[in-house]
Amino acid sequence: MSRSQLSSTPKKRRTRETAILSLLAVLIVAMFIISMNTGLIRLSPTEVIHTLLGEGSQQQKLILFDFRLPRIVISLLVGAGFAVAGCILQSLSRNALAEPSTLGINAGAGFAVLIFISFVPATTAAPIFMLPLMALAGAGLTATLIYVLAFRREDGLSPTRLILIGIAVGAGIYAFQLILSLRLDPENYQFVATWLAGKIWGGDWRFVMALLPWILILVPFAFYKARVLNVLNLGDEIPAGLGLPVERERVLLMAAAVALAGSCVAVSGGIGFVGLIAPHLARRIVGPRHQILLPACALVGALLLLTADTIARWILQPSEIPTGIVVAIIGAPYFLYLLARSKA
């Protein structure tokens, strides 16, 4: 490799990375406008822009600001949150198939929320801020349980064992969810079933406000730890040799991922696969450096979930299907494709 190549590579790479991130941002804006248009009452792009600038009619303002916009914002936040959480978990466990839902963390968060809903009506104001906390507690307990069960003194945290135990714990929690949900009255049940299937609640800025702090703190925190993730991704010995407190960093990052997944589950129910697919796509586009991989993940995840949510609202108008179902129907085949292609 010549000297000129060496010096020009980082610069070229930076240009390329900037271009990719900008392209993703442009795609999100485009999807944003399409999503604003989608729904029972159609608004043309110009009407959307006019309304956003404050010149629309009363009805247009109501539809955009009170119904569509909060839901779109939540899709973006949840997509980014799950994607970053998935990326952290994949790097920590060195397992390309790890994500909050395969590891049972979503199930744990969902179960805690379900317990809460069974005893406190979901319509009052207090629960909205309580729900993310409940979900966090559920996700945290589940993650601790899985970590404890998968950790062995001889060989540490085996990626294989981690994922198998995650699947088992998820299956167990699912059984308990069924028991609990059978005791609800039919109306509450329909709500819970739809929510567990992964429906973006939307319709309410309070949910945005409940979720936003978590995303605003934890996603930048992950970006800040990008270098640590790069090193941890190499295995246990190398980071320890470099003087990194491996166990502390791992627990810290794991906690961040679990908290992200938990707070996202609280407002979006059981949406799986975003945390799996977004990191894969992002890695394919920008490579394994976490400094660029994590932002790319966040953007891909946001784009993915906004697209899925738009499809969910559009495909069967006037009724709609939960977003989680759309994501699973797109995501599971992709997962199987990855599984078939990957070498053991």
Partner 1 sequence: MVTSTHSQSRTHPEGEKQLKSRPAAAVVILIAGLGAILFGLALSVSVGAADIRLASVWEAVFRFNPELPQHQVIRELRIPRALAGALVGACFAVAGAIMQGMTRNPLADSGLLGLNAGASVGLALAFAFAPSMSFIYIMLYCFIGAAAASLLVFGIGSLSHSGLTPLRLTLAGAAVSALLLAISQGVAILFHLSQDIAFWMAGGIGGTSWTQLRIMFPWVAAALIGSLMISRSITLLSLGRDVAAGLGQRTRLVQTAGILIVVVLAGAAVSAVGPIAFIGLIIPHVTRFLVGVDYRWIIPCSAVLGSVLIIFADIAARMINAPYETPLGALIAVIGVPFFIYLASKRKGGLT
Name the residue nearer to partner 1 (CB basis): 53 or 175.
Answer: 175
* By the rule CB under 8 A, 53 interacts with partner 1: no
Measured in residues, the chain has a length of 344
Beta bridge mates, 152: 156
Residues 167, 226, 244, 252: which binds partner 1 (CB under 8 A)?
Answer: 167
Task: Give the DSSP letter of residue 40.
Answer: S
Name the segment binding partner 1 (CB under 8 A); options: 27-35, 111-119, 230-238, 335-343.
Answer: 335-343
Query: Are 296 and 24 within 8 A, CB to CB?
Result: yes
Binding-site string for partner 1 from residue 135 to residue 154, where x marks contact by CB under 8 A and - marks none = --------------xx-x-x
* Buried-state track 267-279, b at ≥16 Cβ within 10 A, e below 16: bbbbbbbbbbbbb
| Residue given tokens 């129910």 in the structure block | 269
Radius of gyration of the chain (CA): 21
Nearest distance from C-beta of residue 133 to partner 1, angstroms: 26
- Residue 198, amino acid: G
121 near partner 1, rule: CB under 8 A: no
DSSP state of 236: S
As measured in angstroms, the least distance from the Cβ of 60 to partner 1 is 29
Q: Minimum CB separation from partner 1 for residue 93, in Å?
A: 13
Q: Which residue's entry shows tokens 């822009």?
A: 49
Shortest Cβ 194–partner 1 spacing (Å): 6
Q: Which of residues 257-276 bind partner 1 (CB under 8 A)?
A: 272-273
The residues in 197-216 that bind partner 1, with binding defined as CB under 8 A, are 197
User: Contacting partner 1 (CB under 8 A), which of 15, 57, 190, 317?
Assistant: 190
Cα–Cα dist 89/76, whole Å: 20
Collapsing DSSP to helix, strand or coil, 152 comes out as: strand
Among 319, 283, 325, 321, which Cα is nearest to 301's? 283
Q: Check residue 101 for interaction with partner 1 (CB under 8 A).
A: yes
Q: To the nearest whole angstrom, how small is the minimum distance from the Cβ of residue 171 to partner 1?
A: 6
From CA 149, how far away is CA 133, in angstroms rounded?
24
Q: Does 93 bind partner 1 (CB under 8 A)?
A: no
Q: Which is nearer to partner 1, 51 or 101 (CB)?
A: 101
- Label residue 287 left, alpha or beta by phi (over 0 means left) and psi (-120 to 50 means alpha): left
189 lies in the binding site for partner 1 (CB under 8 A)? yes
Tell the smallest beta-carbon distance from residue 206 to partner 1 (Å).
25
Nearest to partner 1 of 172, 212 (CB atom): 172
- 261, HSE (Cβ side, Cα atoms, 13 Å): 39
Nearer CB in complex with partner 1: 252/321: 321
**Per-residue interface string for the shown chain with partner 1, residues 314-333, x marking contact by CB under 8 A:** --x--x-xx-xx--xx--xx
User: Cα–Cα distance between 83 and 79 in angstroms, integer?
Assistant: 6
Among 3-11, 122-130, 157-165, 253-261, the segment contacting partner 1 (CB under 8 A): 157-165
**Distances from the Cα of 161 to the Cα of 1, 73, 146, 237, angstroms:** 42, 36, 9, 19
Q: Evaluate the CA torsion angle 137, 163, 99, 219 in order and state its sign.
A: positive
- Amino acid identity at 245: P
| Residues that contact partner 1, how many (by CB under 8 A) | 52
Binding site for partner 1 (CB under 8 A): 97, 101-102, 149-150, 152, 154-155, 158, 160-161, 163-165, 167-169, 171-172, 174-176, 178-179, 181-182, 186, 189-190, 193-194, 197, 272-273, 316, 319, 321-322, 324-325, 328-329, 332-333, 335-336, 339-344
